Every structure is written in C-alpha cells, then in structure tokens.
Structure 1
Amino acid sequence: MPPLVQLVDVSRSYGSVAPVRALRGVDLEVDSGELVSVVGASGSGKTTLLNIIGCLDRPTTGSYRLDGVDADSLSDSRRAGLRSRLLGFVFQSFHLLSYRTVLENVMLAEVYGRREWAGRAERARNALAAVGIEDRADTVPTRLSGGQRQRVAIARAIVNQPRMLLCDEPTGNLDSVTAAGILELLGGLYEAGLTVIVITHDPGVAEWSQRQVRLVDGRIGSDR
C-alpha cells in the first residue's frame, strides 16, 4: 500500500524577480494512521507544506502523491474532488459563519463536498456528537467559547469522513486548559483510525504527537 502522503524533492518558490524559497527539496512520507506534528519557527515553511499536502497549492519543483494519486497532474476541479473526498481541515481561526447555526456550519461542509441532501442534518448532528457539542447545534458561533468553536470546526472537518485531518495551529487561540481538551479530542480521532497532521509552533503540542517533523528554513531538519 502506498503512503497516504508522499512528497519527493518538493520545493516551492514565490515571485519571479527575487523568488522567495519557502520549501527546499522536501522529502516526506506519511502513512495512514499516523499522528504527525510539523513544527518550526515562523517562516520555516510549515503553512506552505500544509497547503501542498492539502492540495491548496502546487510545488514549484518535485512531486506530490496523495493516496497514490499524482496530485500535481490533476486539473483544479479534480484536485478539489480529491481534497473533498480525502481531507478535512481545521484552522486556528475556526472560519465559522457567524450568521449560521452550529448545525448549518457543519452541514455546509457536505454542500462543498457535493454529498447527497438526504441525511445531511443527521450526519452533521452525529459529527457534533462525536466532538461533544451536540447540545449547541442550534446556537450561532458568536455565543460559543473558543474551545466550543474549535470543536464545531473539527465536526465540520470530519462530517465527510475524511482519511486525513490537516490542522493549522488548532490550539493557537486557546488557553492551556481548553487546548488540552482539543488535543485530547484530536488524539481520540487518531486512535479511531484517522490520520492527523498538526502544524504548530508549540513544543508541547509537538511532544504530544506520535511523530515530529521539524522544518528549518524550508528544509526538514529532523524527523523522529
């Protein structure tokens, strides 16, 4: 079985006159069922790496295969389809719609994923139950705490039953106690079989993960 994530000699540059090299010759494989943190200082290339793994950006050079599929060779629409089938995203800033209820925010993920309408509300409620916030389904996000909003964001990320969850600083806006609860939740999803990649600058979050990949100036400095 091929790795779920396979990057070979991946580089990413921005600009043409004096290009900025965000990634430099990155080789990385992640198997199904791993819990990986990608850690590094600001500007080390963490977000760029996440964007490539998430099919939100393309390498300048090198190759990227997602679940054995050459993602670089696909059209934008086919990459979007691959992304919606295999990946869920969790962001530091939650990205919830303030004028929609919690349930509607989670259901929107199925709209973008083009899943059938039948059963959509039930699947969203099940996702909310999985993260322990089903009792706030009819509340708007502005009435929730930061930790509750992140739980809603995680429910939205898992409602389509992805193979892998990509988390960009998921505890960055949370106090330590709330952050610990979110890590416990993500750990439970990992133990249930979900592949989880977490971008972080927090050494504590990195130590919590099964495997740590450290980026230094766009290169992998260590992988343990």
Structure 2
Amino acid sequence: MPAEPAELVTLDRIGRRFGADPPVVALRGVDLQVRTGDWLAVVGPSGSGKSTLLNIIGCLDRPDEGSYRFEGLDVAALSDRDRAGLRSHRLGFVFQSFHLLAHRSVLENVMLAEVYAMRPRSGRRDRALAALAAVGLADRTDHLPTHLSGGERQRAAIARALLNEPALLLCDEPTGNLDSRTTAAILGLLGELHAHGLTIIVITHDPGVAERAQRRVRIVDGELRDDG
C-alpha cells in the first residue's frame, strides 16, 4: 500500500487575541491538520478569523496560545529570522490585491521572489521565465502590471509565489477582484498545480471557490468546523 501523505501543517488549540479591555478574540481553540498534497478551502464571512488563521499558518503572525508545527518543526520556537527564512523558502503567497510593483515589469516582479529569498542570481531570469510560461504569461513578461488584466496580474502573482518551489501555497481571496470567467480560469490553474502535487490552502467567502477544493472547513467567530 502507498504511504500516507505526511502532515505538513499541524495546529493544536490555536488562539489569537487583539487589543485589551476587553480583547477581541480572533481565533479560539483551532485544531487543523493539512497533509502534503491537500487542497483545503477555509470558508467564512468577513471578520470570522480566516485571514488571521492564514497569517499564523504563513508565519506572518504568532498565536497567543496553542502550538503550530510545520513539517514537524515547532514554529513557535523559531527566531524572527528563521521564521522569515521559512516564509521565503517553504511558503508561497497569493493575495486578492496581487501586490505587484507597478513600476517593474512582470518578469522583474517574479524575479523579486528570489531576491527576497537571497537565492543565487545565476539562472534567476530563466527560472522566472519558466514560471511565467507555466501560468500562461510567456508573452507578457515585459509588460507592466498596469497593462495586464486582473486575471493576468493574478497569474503573475502565482508565478512569483511558485518561483521558490514552496511546499505550501497560501491564497487569501485569490479571486475576490475577478469576474466569474476569470475566476474559473484561476481556479483551473490552481487545479493544475494541485494535480501536480502542490499543497494549497485557499481563504475565501465564496462557496463556489471553496467547492473546487478537495476539503473544506468553515470558520465562524474564530472557531473552526470541518465541512468535509
């Protein structure tokens, strides 16, 4: 029998609060396991805690309580520098607003992923070109982001996220600024990446986006419920 996929993300009783007197509880007692090769959708309305959850998984924030292990590594025990290294080398991020530099070409935007990760310069351009070709943007490499459609900008953002070959792709409302046809195309691209073995977590308020995932959980008032 084939070996069971390894656990990539393990959250145990995660809690997160903001402010004081009284504090706002964003997450409470969250348990979650994500295995290598999963495609998980986290569904919930605005203010439910889903972006806070993604920020903790993405090492952009720290929980106030509970434990988080990534590939078996105790994330809470890492220094800020080591957490930054984990983000750069093992995690990829795709956001609703793309986060592309308007004054840089699409190719330069993608290459910046390796600059931030301090990877060798040799071969960087070729690797970025290959990533752009993989998302269907081989003919847009010299364009500025302002000259691209919304779908093309999100494809560029996905190419940038993939350049460092992450173990996990984190998507925060990746289709929130896109029309239905473009949304379908982006979900199709994510489906292709998942079929090739990439582990994906998508944060969304859209049931149609969540439906494409192989597994769904719902977050309500900071508490996670498994939808199957």
**TM bucket normalised to smaller:** over 0.9
Partner of 1:8: 12
Out of 81, 86, 96, the residue aligned to residue 82 of structure 1 is 86
**1:93 matched to 2:91:** no
Give the drift of 1:83. 1.3
Out of 169, 174, 177, the residue aligned to residue 173 of structure 2 is 169
Give the drift of 1:223. 3.6
Give the drift of 1:16. 2.5
SS of residue in 2 equivalent to 1:180: helix
- TM, length-normalised to structure 1: 0.98
Partner of 1:115: 119
Partner of 2:62: 58
SS of residue in 2 equivalent to 1:152: helix
**Any unmatched runs of 5+ in structure 2?**
none
- TM, length-normalised to structure 2: 0.97
Q: Aligned partners of 1:223, 1:24: CA distance in 2, in Å?
A: 18
SS of residue in 2 equivalent to 1:188: helix
- Considering only aligned residues, what root-mean-square deviation do their CA atoms show, in Å? 0.8
Q: Give the count of matched residue pairs.
A: 224
**1:102 matched to 2:111:** no
**Does the CA contact (< 8 Å) of 2:129 and 2:141 recur in 1?**
yes
* Paired residues for 1:26-45 under 5 Å: 26-45=30-49
**Any unmatched runs of 5+ in structure 1?**
none
**Does the CA contact (< 8 Å) of 1:8 and 1:64 recur in 2?**
yes
Per-residue CA deviations over 1:6-46 (Å, capped at 9, x if unaligned) read 00000000112211000000000000000000001111110
**Does the CA contact (< 8 Å) of 1:6 and 1:30 recur in 2?**
yes
**Does the CA contact (< 8 Å) of 2:6 and 2:36 recur in 1?**
no
Per-residue CA deviations over 1:136-161 (Å, capped at 9, x if unaligned) read 00010000000000000000000111
Per-residue CA deviations over 1:171-212 (Å, capped at 9, x if unaligned) read 000000000000000110000010000000000011111000
Give the drift of 1:85. 1.3
In structure 1, what residue type is equivalent to 2:82?
R
In structure 2, what residue type is equivalent to 1:182?
I
* Paired residues for 1:174-185 under 5 Å: 174-185=178-189
Dislocated runs of 4+, deviation >2 Å:
none
Q: Aligned partners of 1:106, 1:155: CA distance in 2, in Å?
A: 6
* Paired residues for 1:142-221 under 5 Å: 142-221=146-225
SS of residue in 2 equivalent to 1:187: helix
Partner of 2:71: 67
